[in-house]
Amino acid sequence: MLKPEQMSRLLIVASKDQMAPVISELYRHHLFHIEDFVEAGAQGYEGFKIGTPLSGASEASGDLVKIRTIQNAFSIRSDDFEVKERQNQSALQGLIERELPAIEQEVEDFTGKRSKLDTKVKEYEQKIAEISPFVGIPGDLDLYRGYSNFVVFAGYVAKEVSVPGPHEMFFSKGKGKHFIVVIVPVGQRSVVEGVLQEAGYQAVPIPDESGDPQGRMNFYNEQIVLLKKETVEINRKLDGIKEKHAGFLVACEEILKVQVEKTEAPLRFATTNETFVAEGWVPSVSVETIRPALENATGGKIFFTVLPKDPEHDSVPVEYHNPSFAKPTQMLMDVYSRPKYTELDPTLTLSIVFPLFFGLILGDVGYGLILLAMCLVLRKYLKGEEGTQLLVVLRNASISSIIFGLLFGEFLGFALPWRPVIFSRHLNIGAHATGHGPQIPELMILAIWIGLLHITLGRVFGMINHARQDHGDHRTKAVMANFGWLLVMWGILVMIWSIVQMPYMPDFTKFPPVIMNLNIAAIIGAVMLVTGVLFIARDSGLELVELPTIISHVLSYSRIVAVGLSSVAIAMVVNYISIGMLIEPQLENITITGVLFIILGVAVFVIGQALNLALGILGSGLHSVRLHYVEFFTKFYKGGGKKYNPFGFNRRFTEDL
């Protein structure tokens, strides 16, 4: 809790003939995060070389490429694939050798044919486009070619033209541009060219066809229909192959992926002529599972030791270690940055506080229920790990907003039939709105309190982090500086309390003045402030320019109220327009136009509420996350830890018997 999983650094040394069993044992356990061996400058590894892949590596990767090509052709993605039953690896391995080339050949044939047909269709479409202008002109297409004494002009002009001298001209009017064909004796060529140029002439190539243009076009259209039929047939056959082999293909992909990863693992080890050395990390709790497994697999011919670790200089991979209800929130942490190994992992606080903020902002039973239903439905369709995690986070948030909705007494912007249990957020919108109106000052104070506590927690975490990570003089200074920030914040507060009286805040105005009209509380506050500033300055003077952020960060929490109220306001306005203005007046005296107004009112209600719900989810989610990332994390959190990525893979479609 609040700490990443403890890791141990392992060193495994064995002779090269034990490499294969060691690799497959490590792979099976899926726990060993390999530290890649880099030849250049590796300390203590002088004379070692990067290993060479095990036998069968290039065949396996060749087959993998083939399978992935076929999968692409079929657009099969193993993530979308339901696991029916796990297939036996050794049985499949035989099948890969026998069936894969045949399937590949078949698929290649069909896709090759399909692309040929596609080119043919394109070619014919091009021909149709060339012929189509000539359809309006009487005469066969071969009449346009083959003259030695005449010139044929065919093309588009912007306006009508009159050609001087002997000629034959056909003109078909179009929209904006007209098609023209002019046949003149060769001698007149330049004159006619000049006339046409003036009319904005654009030449059109004369199609290399013979016969009636309409007839040719019909012919090509028929051909295209036939070709398309053939394509459909091929697609149907390909679908048949897909249907038949999809399960086999994803299983093969998995097996080959495993094989490739295993056979290429030596590329990450250090080797000499006869031995290899693998270094890496495993969770400390699992060291004792790996040790006997490796010893069994190699018959004890292995050297296995836990190396001392130096958390600050080693790049220790980080794996979260959280109670199960907080696990989905790790996704929100990964969006920002994974914690470093030595750092506090704030996932747990995030998993509790995020839904609270979300609920406080959205706080509506209706919206909460809709969001909850959406999460439950979407769960069936979203398969990826991140997607499901996000849905669980949203589900928790929606439950929280239902609870806060009950407390605020809100349902889609309507008031529930009881007085708000905490503060009222109902606005007086509409003609017959009465009542108290929202308790804005009280809500604001609530938000400020939340901000103060959240930031204080952040600073306390900051003190812990610095105490853990820093050394010597700097450690004390950094811890004190964080304490200084707390002193300044609370000092300012105490001073404000001694001057102004506020609801739900301590009242120090009653104390008698001591000096300069300031009472004892104000003096204590001032002392806290000055001490705090000194503490901060002792660590780094430059930090002092950040002092105003104390106020802006606390005030930033007022968004919890403001964003929430704006969503209440939109909901109430939608309700007032749709029900108060459109539906209700018509219900008293129903007419045909009245029914139309009622339908309009229902439409406004549905669209408005849907829009507000979308805005509400986006706003509540983003602002809750933002309060964490910007206001909370900046106080203590750096992040940048390396992801724990153990060697191995959770098989879904196959099993190794």
Partner 1 sequence: MAAEVVAAVINDVELMKASQIGMKAIGAGLAVGLTGIASGIAEMAIGSAAVGATAENKDVFGLVLLLTVIPETIVIFGLVVALLLLF
The Cα-based distances of 227 to 114, 222, 518 in angstroms read 10, 9, 94
Of 125, 239, 136, 286, nearest in space to 648 by CA: 286
Closest to partner 1 by CB, 81 or 629: 629
Is 437 among the residues that bind partner 1 (CB under 8 A)? yes
Rounded to whole angstroms, what are the CA distances from 386 to 79, 95, 587? Answer: 12, 34, 49
- Residues present in the chain in total: 657
Whole-number minimum distance, CB 564 to partner 1, in Å? 11
Task: Single out the segment in contact with partner 1 by CB under 8 A; choices: 14-22, 67-75, 436-444, 514-522.
Answer: 436-444
Number of residues that bind partner 1 (CB under 8 A): 23
Residues 441-460 that bind partner 1 (CB under 8 A): 441, 444
Q: Which tokens hold the place of 247?
A: 């399960």
Q: Is residue 392 a contact residue for partner 1 (CB under 8 A)? A: no
The one segment of 174-182, 263-271, 484-492, 619-627 that binds partner 1 by CB under 8 A: 619-627
Contact call for residue 622 and partner 1 (CB under 8 A)? yes
**Nearest distance from residue 458's CB to partner 1, in Å?**
17
Rounded to 5°, the CA angle 478-484-489 comes to 140
b (16+ CB within 10 A) / e for 607-625: ebbeebbeebbebbbebbb
Q: Does 558 bind partner 1 (CB under 8 A)?
A: yes
Radius of gyration in angstroms for the set of CA atoms belonging to the chain, rounded to a whole number: 38
Can residue 466 be called a binding residue for partner 1 (CB under 8 A)? no
Q: How far is the CB of 629 from partner 1 (least distance, A)?
A: 6
| CA-based nearest residue to 535, from 601, 604, 489 | 489
Task: Write down the least CB distance from residue 344 to partner 1, Å.
Answer: 21
For 405-505, strand residue ranges (E) read 410-411, 414-415
Least distance in angstroms from the C-beta of 561 to partner 1: 8
Sequence-ordered list of residues with C-beta below 8 angstroms from that of 61, at least 6 positions apart, any chain: 256, 260, 264
Structure tokens at 66: 């083939």
What does the alpha-carbon distance between residue 133 and residue 131 come to, in Å, rounded to a whole number?
Answer: 6
Q: Least distance (Å) from partner 1 to the CB of residue 622?
A: 5
Q: Is 565 in the site for partner 1 (CB under 8 A)?
A: yes
Half-sphere exposure of 394 (CA within 13 A, CB side): 26
When binding is defined by CB under 8 A, the residue of 342, 566, 586, 634 that contacts partner 1 is 566
CB of 577 to partner 1, least distance (A): 19
Of the ranges 61-69, 363-371, 433-441, 594-602, which one interacts with partner 1 (CB under 8 A)? 433-441
629 forms part of the interface with partner 1 (CB under 8 A): yes
Q: Residue 220, Cβ neighbours under 10 Å: how many?
A: 18
556 interacts with partner 1 by CB under 8 A: yes
Q: Which residue from 293, 324, 399 is spatially nearest to 355, judged by alpha carbons?
A: 399
As measured in angstroms, the least distance from the Cβ of 302 to partner 1 is: 39
Q: How far is the CB of 552 from partner 1 (least distance, A)?
A: 8
Q: Which is nearer to partner 1, 124 or 629 (CB)?
A: 629
Binding residues among 331-370 for partner 1 as defined by CB under 8 A: 335-336
**Residue 217 vs 625, nearer CB to partner 1:** 625
Residues 371-378: contacts with CB within 8 Å, 24+ apart? Answer: 371/397, 371/398, 371/401, 371/613, 371/617, 372/398, 372/399, 372/402
* 562 binds partner 1, rule: CB under 8 A: yes
Using CB under 8 A, list all residues that contact partner 1. 335-336, 437-438, 440-441, 444, 552, 555-556, 558-559, 561-563, 565-566, 622-623, 625-626, 629-630
